Amino acid sequence: MIPYQPIDCAFHDLLEATITWRKYSHLQYFTDLWEFTTVTTLLKDLTSERTTDGLAEYLVIGTGERIRLDRVVNVNGTFAPPFRHFLDFTCDC
């Protein structure tokens, strides 16, 4: 497993704000198997958990799934700094 990398504070603030809006959001992220996934869901909560490598933060979405914050690529068109040059080839048709 790749050690958790803390995320940019401004992107963390964006996630917190999006959670408080309680509106469906367009979310792109990598799963634990590094599958690129795009969903439209509610962002419910931010949590943290102790791991063998230290502390890791997670985003909880409407389905109850927890996504490591360092694997979140895009929220409502705003890319996380490590992925800002990521090319989005998805189709919303």
Q: To which residue do tokens 């080839």 refer?
A: 89
Average pLDDT score, the chain: 92
* Cβ atoms within 10 Å, residue 70: 18
Report pTM: 0.88
Which pLDDT tens digit goes with each residue over 8-23?
999 999 999 999 999 9
Q: How many CA atoms lie within 13 A of 47 on its CB side?
A: 12
Instruction: Tell me the pLDDT tens digit for each residue of 69-91.
Output: 999 999 999 999 999 887 665 56
Question: What confidence category does residue 65 fall into, taking pLDDT thresholds of 50, 70 and 90?
Answer: very high
Q: What is the chain's Cα-based Rg?
A: 13
SS3 content of the chain, % helix, strand, coil (to 5): 20, 45, 35
Non-local CB neighbours of 82 within 8 Å, separated by 6+ positions: 5, 70
